[in-house]
Structure 1
Amino acid sequence: MSIDPDSPQGRGGAAATTAAAQPGVGRGQLDRRRVLGAAVELIDEQGLRALTMRALGQRLGVEAMSLYHYVPSRENLLDGIVESVVDELYGDPDVHMDAPDGWQAYIQRLAHGVRRIALAHPEVFPLVCTRPSAAPWVKPPLRSLRWMESFLTVLSDCGFDDGESVAAYRAFSSFLLGHLLLEVSAHGVDIGPVGEPDPGTADRADLHGYPHLQRLEPELAQDHTADEFEESLENLLTRLERVVRV
């Protein structure tokens, strides 16, 4: 059987995750990055429902209460886990922020980069897809403002107008979300809810330094899910028609 090139085995080992502190290192040698790395490792090994502050503290060799110095709440911990996993895209040498080989190659590379994250962290991936995002128009699993800006910039530079760029972003996100959630679910991962986030209104996303996002925020915020569903369904039917004719 051939090895999936996006799997950790196909990449020569697990994805480059944040190194966790060794048990017993003590609070003085901890920092937020190491706490989040340990949390990702714990979820990878035991599943999302096994993550508690007590279990995380035991893994790091410290009291659970000492972790609140680095992650003030469970919600902050979960947000940090999502951010640290998505940030693995920056360390993936096959994913580019620009498009030297054209927009098609850019999108292919980015899609495979997100899939590599899903396969390296299947137990974490449902969290990436369900955590409240920085803004309601930020769609999982590509939920980084920096990557959104990169995506919109590349398409704009390649001749897409604003409406086409936003439509492409939505279609790309929906494709990734649907396919990859089904893929990790097929491997036995629990993709059910793990509890509701704390109530309250999320802080408004800071779009300073993201000119495309600032300009396109009103269009990104529009709800076109019904139209997008119909378009995706029509595309599927067209593809099936081609298969039948072969």
Structure 2
Amino acid sequence: MSLIDEFGLKALTMRRLGEYLDVEAMAIYHHIRGREQLLDAVVEAVIDELYADPEVHLHSTEWQEYLYRLAHGVRRIALAHPEVFPLVCTRPPEAPWVRPPLRSLRWMESFLETLHRCGFSDGAAVAAYQAFSSFLLGNLLLEVANKGVDISPVEQADVDQPSPPDGLDSYPRLRQLQPLLSRDRSAEIFAESLEVLTDHLENLGKR
């Protein structure tokens, strides 16, 4: 990740990585198949930083505190790795219902389980996950773009579409809510977000 932080995402090639690590580029292929798999590994490494953040809690009894801590944790990642963050946001997820930037199955399970435990219905918990992801995506991409980072999607080699993730047995809430997560609510999320924004602007106008 330090190579991307220093030189930008476009500098990440197998040859450049070999030079950066002071090894032959071919030696890297013993550990990773190619650049596409390398990009997936970078995304996973970035998201994994959330687990090491002492300010972010995987479990909570207060959903508001949980969301605040999680949102600020993702923002810290975006600001610490602005050149990497667009990759987190644009890399195809494991399944269409996995939404960047909060694209870890473990964090999705934590999110849905926390809201369920705090009284949210299944539909409300899924809607909250989708709205929260959209909020993070829009705001943080704009923030790193304002720092001069190129946020255009990374060109990909011709690869098969990601297949649905395996191992949902470890995530019972995800397995239960997958049908709801798979529904396309883009228009609803846009309308709901616009309504929240206009209400906020109305309050600003009254100050």
TM-score normalised by the chain length of structure 2: 0.97
Equivalent-residue separation in structure 2 for 1:144 and 1:166 (angstroms): 15
1:48 maps to what in 2? 9
Size of the alignment, in residue pairs? 206
RMSD: 0.9
1:187 maps to what in 2? 147
Greater relative contact order, per chain length (Cα 8 Å cut-off, separation 6+): 2
Matched ranges for 1:1-246 at <5 A: 40-100=1-61, 102-206=62-166, 207-246=168-207
1:27 maps to what in 2? none
My pick for the range that moved more, 195-204 or 123-132, is 195-204
Equivalent-residue separation in structure 1 for 2:182 and 2:123 (angstroms): 12
Is the CA contact 1:42–1:51 (under 8 Å) kept in the aligned structure 2?
Answer: yes
Deviation at 1:201, TM superposition (A): 2.9
Deviation at 1:231, TM superposition (A): 1.0
Equivalent-residue separation in structure 2 for 1:203 and 1:221 (angstroms): 14
My pick for the range that moved more, 211-220 or 198-207, is 198-207
- 3-state SS of paired residue (1:208): helix
Equivalent-residue separation in structure 1 for 2:128 and 2:55 (angstroms): 21
Structure 2: tracts of 5 or more residues without a match: none
Structure 1: tracts of 5 or more residues without a match: 1-39
Higher normalized helix content (fraction of residues): 2
Deviation at 1:236, TM superposition (A): 0.8
My pick for the range that moved more, 89-98 or 191-200, is 191-200
Runs (4 or more) in structure 1 with deviation over 3 Å come to: none
TM-score normalised by the chain length of structure 1: 0.82
